[in-house]
Amino acid sequence: MKNAKLKVSLLGCGAIGRTIVENSGDEYEILAVFDRNTEKAEELAGICSAEVAKSMEEFLEYASLSDVVVEAASQQAVRECPKILECTNLVIMSVGALSDSELLEKLINTARESGKKVLIPSGAVGGIDALKAVKGLAEEVVLKTVKHPESLKGAPFFKEKGISENIEERTVLFEGSAIEAIRLFPANVNVAATVSLACMGFDRTRVIVIADPNVRENVHEIRAKGEFGELVFKVRNRKHPKNPKTSYLAALSVVKLLRDLAGEMRVGT
Ligand SMILES: NC(=O)c1ccc[n+]([C@@H]2O[C@H](COP(=O)([O-])OP(=O)(O)OC[C@H]3O[C@@H](n4cnc5c(N)ncnc54)[C@H](O)[C@@H]3O)[C@@H](O)[C@H]2O)c1
């Protein structure tokens, strides 16, 4: 006989929140939602008959009745997350926020004290299972991200380096550490942060950022080397229909994580 469904509450009712709601069913149900834009929260709650929290304080009450909270809001929202972790497990989508080592330490210490867990989905990339397995053995991890120049516009990189944002041919813009890449291209933080956390950390993970007017999708290629051999993973991500800045795969990856939490068996490291 199937046990009660996993109770999930959502912090953030945008593109990813919607995909989570649309895929709820036998495995998990949505208990409560919170968004700083109450209209968005109400719209999403209407689809799944969830409670709408009107404030973070109210949301924390629902969080304590949930098996897990999913943060799918913003890096700023992650700063509120230690309070959530005091009362339940926490999935973090805005994983770039964890490049702030103080915040990361605070979350880990809170989880240790409360006995709850911080869960980071693979998000917009694959291969995170293998990178985790070779942690401590990898001699090199390189993430190569290729994007259309439009998707890179507004990055602090261009101002700081005095380079024009109007790029007409494939150009390698940056090669360096993940921590530096995150500073110069804050809109690309999530993949770089997930890869860093999985294996070699923010200082030792190498990132290459390429602008290419001929690509439509966001392409991420991860390479790792060590005594275990060589790992190569490549994804060409389609945009989420509700948010062109988010890859659809990222939303699917958190749905799968929730189904795994609810289910009897989990495949993959
Ligand atoms: N891990 C990954 O690979 C990955 C991939 C894509 C997106 N993301 C991240 O996931 C997050 C959600 O993505 P999305 O596409 O659903 O974004 P979205 O913009 O469609 O939705 C975010 C929602 O969160 C709300 N929000 C933002 N800050 C808030 C706060 N402090 N308190 C309450 N509500 C707040 C906004 O009003 C909005 O409705 C983003 O931070 C994004 O960068 C991660």
CB 223 within 8 Å of CB 195? no
Do residues 146 and 204 both lie within one domain?
A: yes
Per-residue pLDDT reduced to its tens digit, 229-263 = 999 999 999 999 999 889 999 999 999 999 999 99
- Ligand 1 centroid to residue 97 C-alpha, Å: 12
Indicate which atom in ligand 1 lies nearest the CA of residue 194.
Answer: 1
Taking CA atoms only, the protein residue closest to ligand 1 atom 31 is 77
Domain that holds residue 177: 128-237
Q: Which pLDDT score, from 0 to 100, does residue 188 have? A: 77
- Ligand 1 centroid to residue 71 C-alpha, Å: 8
Phi first, then psi, for residue 183 (nearest 5°) are -70, -40
- Ligand 1 centroid to residue 74 C-alpha, Å: 4
Distance of CA 43 to the CA centre of its chain: 23
Do residues 14 and 107 both lie within one domain?
A: yes
Q: Which pLDDT score, from 0 to 100, does residue 187 have? A: 77
Per-residue pLDDT reduced to its tens digit, 75-116 = 999 999 999 999 999 999 999 999 999 999 999 999 999 999
Q: Give the residues surrounding ligand 1 with Cβ less than 6 Å away.
A: 12-17, 34-37, 40, 72-74, 76-77, 93-95, 123-124, 190-191, 194, 240, 243, 246-247, 250
Q: Which pLDDT score, from 0 to 100, does residue 225 have? A: 98
Per-residue pLDDT reduced to its tens digit, 10-47 = 999 999 999 999 999 899 999 999 999 999 999 999 99
Per-residue pLDDT reduced to its tens digit, 187-210 = 778 999 999 999 999 999 999 999
Instruction: Provide the CATH number for the domain around residue 162.
Output: 3.30.360.10
Q: Name the residue of 16, 91, 92 whose CB sits within 8 Å of the most ligand 1 atoms, as the mutation to test its pocket.
A: 16
Instruction: Give a yes or no: residue 267 inside a domain.
Output: no
Please say if the pLDDT value at position 2 is more than 60. no
Instruction: Give a yes or no: residue 269 inside a domain.
Output: no
State the chain's mean pLDDT as an integer. 96
Average pLDDT over residues 157-163: 95
Q: Which pLDDT score, from 0 to 100, does residue 186 have? A: 85
